[in-house]
């Protein structure tokens, strides 16, 4: 019988349509074909002049900006959704409607010089460097008075919205707190008022005790399929300690997060033949109290189903694969042959 499940943080409901459920293996796709580097790719070595000037890069001492040799590179988006960074958000009224100019930040974080190597295919020490850059860019933008919220996203695959094949992430600094995050903040306060505890700490404790939806865990992070998963194979990485801000991780926590992210993406690539997916990080708003009752977290949603009329009309997602079966499948993916990641060029010529 189909079952409705409620997200304990946001209060939103999803439908787990068990009678329509597919076996987890039915979501696997044909293996993708490696995409060769293109001479016109702006993120490949030698094409640095095709992007706006870099705002930051990890590169060997002595190499010039906007040349080869970088390890992770950050540039402004050529077609920004928000900006300029020094703009001032101004609200205007148009009849009964309100508008606001889109002052803010839109940066592109290029994962590596390799055109066809996703995060899961890089050595874990390179993934750690990507995580370090994420945090560096959060901290570079968090005190901007025009920016109320920083949202880091990664679109993997054309169907997930990636306009360029070369792996990259994007950081948006926007002049408001998104409704998704507002709902989470309201939900944790509601739970605190009713139960006297942190909802994320309780979710973590419940998932560890139950175990059915756990995908992986390490000393600092829990990776699991949420009880009220919106889509087949939705997954979350959540700190096991009380941590409102992503950008305040210490070195050990950064290392553990890089390992957790690499592990999860590898399970998707190997187990489901590299499906298109989106992941994003929710953290406390830039100018919120540093002690806000919150756990930053990563949410990953693969593009394995399409939202149709019911979902769009009701706001209730129908998930045709149970989180328990999805977690079991991902937990049991054989990663024994994944010990030789793609080698990354050491740097400049």
How far are the Cα atoms of 82, 91, 182 from residue 102, in angstroms, in the given order? Answer: 5, 10, 19
C-beta atoms surrounding 306 within 10 Å: 8
Residue 245 structure tokens: 């801000």
What is the pLDDT confidence band of residue 35, given thresholds at 50, 70 and 90? low
What is the pLDDT confidence band of residue 339, given thresholds at 50, 70 and 90? low
Decide if 168 contacts 44 (C-beta within 8 A).
no
Please, what CATH class does the domain formed by 3-331 belong to? alpha beta
Q: Which residues contact 241 (CB under 8 A, 6 or more apart)?
A: 220
Rounded to whole angstroms, the Cα distance separating 156 from 158 reads 7
Category of 11 on φ-ψ map: left (φ > 0), alpha (ψ -120 to 50) or beta: left
Residue 326 structure tokens: 């999805």
3-state SS of 272-306 is CCCCCEEEEEECCCCCCCCCCCCCCEEEEEECCCC
Q: Is the pLDDT of residue 242 over 50?
A: yes
Rounded to whole angstroms, the Cα distance separating 121 from 283 reads 26
Decide if 81 contacts 153 (C-beta within 8 A).
no
Q: Is the pLDDT of residue 349 over 50?
A: no
Residue 336 structure tokens: 């024994």
The string of pLDDT tens digits covering residues 52-106 is 999 999 999 888 999 999 999 999 998 888 877 787 878 888 888 888 888 888 9
Decide if 238 contacts 203 (C-beta within 8 A).
yes
Q: Which residue has the higher pLDDT, 53 or 40?
A: 53
What confidence score (pLDDT) does residue 229 get?
Answer: 93
Judged by DSSP in three states, 24 sits in: helix
In this structure, what DSSP letter does residue 224 have? E
Decide if 227 contacts 202 (C-beta within 8 A).
no
The string of pLDDT tens digits covering residues 256-306 is 999 999 999 999 999 998 999 999 999 999 888 766 788 999 999 998 888
Give the mean pLDDT of 148-174.
Answer: 90
Q: Is the pLDDT of residue 348 over 50?
A: no
Domain range annotation of the chain: 3-331
């Amino acid at each position: 019988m189909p079952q409705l499940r409620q997200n304990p943080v946001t209060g939103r409901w999803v439908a787990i349509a068990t009678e329509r459920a597919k076996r987890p293996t039915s979501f696997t796709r044909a293996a993708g074909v490696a995409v060769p580097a293109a001479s016109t790719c702006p993120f490949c070595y030698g094409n640095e002049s095709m992007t706006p000037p870099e705002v930051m890069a990890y590169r060997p001492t002595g190499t010039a900006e906007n040349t080869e040799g970088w390890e992770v590179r950050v540039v402004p988006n050529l077609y920004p959704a928000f900006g300029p960074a020094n703009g001032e958000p101004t609200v205007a009224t148009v009849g009964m409607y309100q508008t606001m100019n889109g002052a803010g930040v839109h940066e592109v974080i290029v994962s590596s010089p390799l055109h066809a190597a996703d995060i899961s295919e890089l050595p874990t020490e390179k993934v750690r460097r990507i995580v370090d850059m994420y945090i560096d860019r959060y901290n570079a933008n968090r005190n901007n008075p025009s920016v109320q919220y920083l949202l880091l996203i990664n679109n993997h695959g054309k169907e997930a919205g990636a306009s360029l094949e070369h792996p990259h992430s994007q950081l948006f600094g926007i002049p408001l707190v998104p409704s998704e995050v507002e709902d989470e903040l309201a939900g944790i306060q509601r739970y605190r008022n009713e139960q006297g505890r942190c909802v994320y700490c309780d979710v973590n404790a419940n998932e560890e005790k139950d175990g059915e939806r756990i995908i992986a865990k390490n000393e600092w992070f829990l990776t699991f399929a949420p009880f009220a998963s919106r889509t087949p194979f939705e997954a979350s990485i959540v700190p096991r300690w009380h941590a409102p801000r992503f950008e305040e991780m210490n070195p050990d926590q950064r290392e553990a997060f890089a390992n957790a992210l690499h592990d999860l993406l590898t399970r998707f690539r190997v187990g489901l033949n590299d499906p298109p997916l989106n992941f994003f990080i929710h953290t406390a708003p830039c100018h919120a109290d540093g002690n806000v009752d919150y756990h930053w977290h990563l949410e990953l949603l693969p593009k394995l189903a399409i939202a149709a009329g019911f979902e769009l009309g009701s706001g209730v997602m129908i998930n045709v694969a149970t989180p328990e079966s999805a977690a079991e499948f991902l937990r049991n993916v054989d990663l024994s042959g994944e010990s030789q990641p793609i080698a990354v060029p050491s740097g400049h010529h």
